[in-house]
Amino acid sequence: QLFMVDNGADDWRIAMTYERIFFIALELIVCAIHPIPGQYLFTWTARLAFTYAASVADADVDIILSIPMFLRLYLIGRVMLLHSKLFTDASSRSIGALNKINFNTRFVMKTLMTICPGTVLLVFSISSWIIAAWTVRVCERYHDKQEVTSNFLGAMWLISITFLSIGYGDMVPHTYCGKGVCLLTGIM
């Protein structure tokens, strides 16, 4: 109904394209990921970083389900779009309609980067740092015998060293999950 009203169509099949159906299905899948109530364990085997000895631990299934829940952060962009002055102001909308400007999340982010680039980059960097540190902590929780990266502050130190330099080598992740997060952090 929303797509019909938005596009001025009489039939819902005209308003719904394969691309929209795909994005609706993708959004439903992303929002459907939840940790399962109860305690369900699986055996997680990892090779330790320096000794290459196998480390076996019983881990919660919640680890596998809680990390993809960060995909929901796309909703922040939608909230920013819907609460933006550009989107809610009638004069901005009319000027945008005359110039054929599509007010979407990308346009709002470009406008914010033009108005206050330091604040946007600071919020993005700190958010990425906290999310990456939490993910490393979750990945390393069961395999860190020295409890260096399995606590949150140690994981924040590891991620900040990965962010800002090539790292000291005194703290390393032991699992492929933690190594992958540090690799992505270093690329960013």
Give residue limits of the domains in the chain: 1-32
Spatial CB neighbours of 163, under 8 Å, sequence gap ≥ 6: 125, 129, 185, 186, 188
Q: Note the pLDDT tens digit of each residue in 110-136.
A: 888 999 999 999 999 899 889 988 888
pLDDT at 1: 62
**pTM of the entire predicted model:** 0.75
Q: What is the pLDDT of residue 94?
A: 81
Where does the chain show beta strands of DSSP type E?
41-47, 54-60
Question: Burial of 138 by CB count in 10 Å (0-12 exposed, 13-18 middle, 19+ buried)?
Answer: buried
Per-residue tens of pLDDT for the chain, all 188 residues: 666 666 666 776 666 778 888 988 999 999 898 888 888 888 877 776 667 777 777 878 888 888 888 888 888 888 888 888 777 778 877 887 788 777 788 888 888 899 999 999 999 989 988 998 888 888 888 777 667 677 788 888 888 887 777 666 667 787 788 888 888 887 87
**Lookup: tokens for 133:** 């540190």
pLDDT of residue 187: 81
pLDDT computed for residue 119 by the predictor? 94
Contact 26, 18 (CB under 8 A): no
Give residue 8's pLDDT.
67
pLDDT of residue 146: 67
Residue 100 has what pLDDT? Answer: 79
pLDDT of residue 29: 92
